[in-house]
Structure 1
């Protein structure tokens, strides 16, 4: 018997154009971490979604594609933007400001208070 190809049901799949929560996306939710060096937004990047090479500021080694890691940025970025009167799409660009984001090895982020900043190796 032939199969009928029907589009997926709208109640099972997110409706197109439905608003998405702030700080989400293909990479998942960001959580807030507070410590002596301030408040930080932290997003976990699974290894399968790591597609570029980054340099970890904790150890100054490369984070190779396919390696799980963290993306960290100051939590106050969005608060400052809101206090300055930035709203809507302007504020979302403040959250996504690439100059504020840093990619860390998970263990380097956890040990950042116990070690000095990494030194750049000669290239």
Structure 2
């Protein structure tokens, strides 16, 4: 059986990637309203947060979500009191556990 040579060409990414540590915002709808969700990789996280779903710590460096109510645009610093840091699984199960 003959071996097939490997291609040295890099395949293009299927979609553009966000810069390291930066998240991409998306809107999520549910029975509890519309939320803007930003996924954080954890590489830029330097603080510990408490997840409102399970009330457990999200340690620095752990990938997680930052979530806030969808009301149009949001810029850093604006409405900081409404942002919450969630474990991914806890945000997905928020309807079964209750909100914040």
| Fold equivalence (TM over 0.5) | yes
Q: Which has the larger radius of gyration?
A: 1
Alpha-carbon separation, structure 1, partners of 2:97 and 2:41: 25
Matched, 1:110 2:92: yes
Alpha-carbon separation, structure 2, partners of 1:58 and 1:42: 15
Residues 81-111 of structure 1, C-alpha deviations (whole Å, 9 max, x = no match) = xxxxxxxxxx746x73210100000010001
Matched, 1:67 2:85: no
Alpha-carbon separation, structure 2, partners of 1:75 and 1:68: 22
Residues 59-79 of structure 1, C-alpha deviations (whole Å, 9 max, x = no match) = 00110001110000000153x
Per the normalisation by structure 1, the TM-score is 0.58
Higher normalized helix content (fraction of residues): 1
Matched, 1:97 2:68: no
SS in 1 for 2:80: coil
Alpha-carbon separation, structure 2, partners of 1:92 and 1:43: 12
Q: Which runs of 5+ in 2 are unaligned?
A: 1-20
The 1:66–1:92 alpha-carbon spacing in structure 2 relative to 1, beyond 3 Å, is: closer
Per the normalisation by structure 2, the TM-score is 0.70
Higher normalized strand content (fraction of residues): 2
User: How many residues matched?
Assistant: 82
Deviation, structure 1 residue 114: 1.2
Q: 2:43 aligns with which of 24, 48, 59?
A: 48
* 1:59–1:117 contact (8 Å) kept in structure 2: no
